[in-house]
Structure 1
Amino acid sequence: MLKLRRGTVVVADPVRDDEQWQRLSVDVAGEQRPAVVDVALLGSCTFGDEVVVNVEARDLALGSGGFDVVHVNLTRGLSGEGVPGAHVMKLNYSSLQHAVLPVEGERLAVPLGRPVAVFPLHGHLAPLAWALAQARPGARVGYVQTAGGALPGGMSSTVLELRRLGLLADHVTAGPAYGGEREAITTAGAIHDGLAEQGWDAALVGPGPGILGSGSALGHGGIVAMDSAHAALALRCATVLVARMSAGDPRPRHQGLSHHTRTVLDLLLAPVTLPVEMGATDPAFAAARARGHVVHEVAVDVEGYRASGLPARTMGRGIDEDRPFFAAALAAGTTVGGLVR
């Protein structure tokens, strides 16, 4: 059963027009607990609202989800009418199922050669988009949010910032992800619509904030990169995989080229390009080349990215503590920028 509890809102932060998530403090059995509400899905909350919250993530002390999530607002959340004309369900057969207007159309126009960058962690998105813009100013770039991390499209402050700066032109939530500016039933449908119908020059495809993980070879959110890369390859796109690399992660499986990326490279059914910083070395690069993948060395501007003011931390570590993480994403962005025509 869901771990749901009844509570009362005691603090409700104001919500900007472009924000979809609201931060709250909710009194649950006498304890004031941090919580969030998906405004696009459930509406905003105010002081005194009676709510039902899902308390599981905070009770488990999850690092990326250490707050309660409002399941329903009993005071003002029972009058929604849904989206007029929508009939395709997201979160289907769950208590949060809702109808959307999908982007997928009847026509299949294969976007030959357009580049797609597939990334395994949301922390890659900002350096990836920034480097692409430096390499190809004015490029029209869309973000396809997939499974693997947070599913709500409005949760990422990074996406909001990149949209404000013009580094992203669109945000589509695909598959089980929901709440983006536009909705897609599948990742392939989102990529196709963006590149073939919306005029994107490139697509950046990867999960929302946070990541599912178990420490096993296949039981982690990063494996979604395999599915996304296959979708891009099937659409005949120039497919670039962002390497998850680290020099600061204390877990041996993530040091150097992470086992997340190594596994995807081993399982892919066709070659992709794996950009890395000029001079970077890892024993796994040889194995990737042996499988036909292109390990592409690129000069990167880490200091320029640091000065940009965009997010520069991953799992609590900054650029100085984990340069390879950011350098790999910058290398991928530069590579994709060079592929834009």
Structure 2
Amino acid sequence: MTDAPSPAPGSRIRWRRGRVTELGRAWRDAQELTVEVPEDGTVKALAHPSLVGTPQVDDEVLLNTTAWAQRLGTGGYALVVAVPDRLPPDPTGPGHLVKGRYTPLQVTVQGVDEQDTPHHETIAGAEDLDGMPVVVADLHSALPAVLAGVHVTDPALRVAYVMTDGGALPAAFSRTLDTLAGSLAGVVTVGQAFGGDVEAVTVHTGLLAARHVLRADVAIVTQGPGNLGTGTPWGFSGVAAGEACNAVHVLGGRAVGALRISDADPRPRHRGVSHHSLTAFGRVALGGVTLVAPRGLGSDLGTQVEEDLAGQPERNPVEWVDSIGLEDALAASPVRLSTMGRGLAEDRAYFLAAAAAGRFAAQLLLFGPPPA
């Protein structure tokens, strides 16, 4: 008999048991709580009740504190793995898609593209997106700004959100989605992400579902909250933004790139147009994507953005969009705008660029594509 292989270096989970001392905010399928952990003291934690049980004060909970201990991750939470004495009921109903596959917390959902759903025939027969504009952004924080730009231009447009799996996997982790629930036609979670109004296997079927099931006029694609970056040219989860543009191209949609622009980020690689945007859109999106920059950035930043975009391939036209009214729309957003801890006042250019991309998508429907 041979010994079992050792786990790969670094593939560890930091487990802790603790007792709930206080319940905090709750939204969608998420519950904040304070947990007293003997080894760590007071810990802020998050539970997804449908997955792990509904915690109450004095309950014992099992925690994954790996990222919390390293001070990593959006929100800074320890994550509740189980409420052992208050487990949720067994799942019932249809659904055969497994997400988070072969992890200890894999979950079964009903996918819009599986055979037993009422939408299978629709998705199986869908040929394309009918020219639907799709705004693709690197970060989840761009979502409310893009939506503000769409709706300040044409409030009647139906907008669906397609959430990819580069950041948080549970849609319920996002307080943004909870706040925007009445403003979106729906949320589609794709890949390993789950918990949307509609589940799909791939970005491709997720886009088709946005168009043909949710009847969206415009779709927005970003990863969930959080972002994995390493400071290397290719080692960041936002590379998937370019792949999403390729999916839009293959399906006959109109890819619109929401540029990550900043003059507030302290890291040189993210000042002006971030290298994330330049790489994902310029080197990965081989089918082409219209890159949108807002007017009114100020002369220095505007000049830098022009220089950063000068090397884009011919397949990526650059459109400068009027920003009149966008700042008021951003200020009126029901979501508190924040990216990397910076709000609208601190990182105006970032949110203005996202809103301009939303405005351009709406203008495509109102006026058609600009002349070549």
- Structure 2 counterpart of 1:299, one-letter code: D
Does the C-alpha gap of structure 1 residues 157 and 65 become closer, same or farther in structure 2, counting only changes over 3 Å? closer
Alignment gaps of 5+ in structure 1: none
Task: Please list every run of at least 4 consecutive aligned residues from structure 1 whose deviation after the TM superposition is greater than 6 angstroms.
Answer: none
Give 2:321's aligned residue. 298
Identity of aligned residues (%): 34
Asked whether 1:92 is paired with 2:101, we answer yes
| 1:176-207 CA-partner distances (Å, limit 9, x unpaired) | 11112221111111101111233111111111
Cα distance in 2 between the residues matched to 1:13 and 1:65: 14
Q: Which residue of 1 aligns with 2:337?
A: 312
Corresponding residue number in structure 2 for 1:107: 125
SS in 2 for 1:318: coil
| Aligned residue number for residue 116 of structure 1 | 134
The offset of 1:108, in angstroms, is 2.6
Q: TM-score, normalised by structure 1?
A: 0.94
Asked if the contact 1:83/1:99 (under 8 Å) is kept, the reply is no
Alpha-carbon distance in structure 2 between the residues aligned to 1:69 and 1:33? 10
Which amino acid in the other structure matches residue 20 of structure 1?
D
Write the deviation string for residues 21-77 of structure 1: whole angstroms up to 9, x where unpaired: 100111111612110001232232101211110001110012524220001111111
Find the partner of 1:155 among 155, 162, 173: 173
* Offset from partner CA, 1:64-117 (integer Å, 9 cap, x none): 24220001111111x531242211101111111121100122223312211111
Task: Give secondary structure in 2 for the equivalent of 1:76.
Answer: coil
The unaligned stretches of length 5 or more in structure 2 are 1-11, 114-119, 297-301, 367-372
In structure 2, relative to structure 1, the CA distance for the partners of 1:191 and 1:26 (3 Å cut) is same
Residue 17 of structure 2 corresponds to 6
Residue 134 of structure 1 and its aligned partner are, at CA, apart by 1.2
User: Structure 1 residues 275 and 309 mapped into 2: Cα distance closer, same or farther (>3 Å)?
Assistant: same
Secondary structure of 2:279's counterpart equals helix
What is the DSSP-based 3-state SS (H/G/I as helix, E as strand, rest coil) of the residue aligned with 2:181? helix
Could you tell me whether the CA contact under 8 Å between 2:53 and 2:82 is conserved in 1?
no
Contact 1:147 1:224 in 2 (8 A): no
Cα distance between partner residues in 2 of 1:229 and 1:162: 24
Q: Distance in 2 between matches of 1:122 and 1:246?
A: 16
TM-score under structure 2 length normalisation: 0.86
1:37 equivalent in structure 2: 47
Q: State whether structure 2 residue 282 is matched by structure 1 residue 287.
A: no
> Structure 2 matches for 1:14-33, cutoff 5 A?
15=26, 19-29=28-38, 31-33=41-43
Deviation at 1:9, TM superposition (A): 1.2
Give how far 1:275 is off.
Answer: 0.6
Take 2:53 and 2:198, find their aligned partners in 1: how far apart are those partners?
A: 18
Question: 1:137, 1:65 → 2: CA distance?
Answer: 31
How big is the alpha-carbon RMSD for the aligned residues of Structure 1 and Structure 2? 1.6
2:161 matched to 1:132? no
Mapping for residues 221-240 of structure 1, pairs under 5 Å? 221-240=237-256
Give matches, 1:200-239, under 5 Å.
Answer: 200-239=216-255
Q: SS at the partner of 1:92?
A: coil
Distance 2:333 2:192 in 1: 32
Bigger radius of gyration among the two = 2
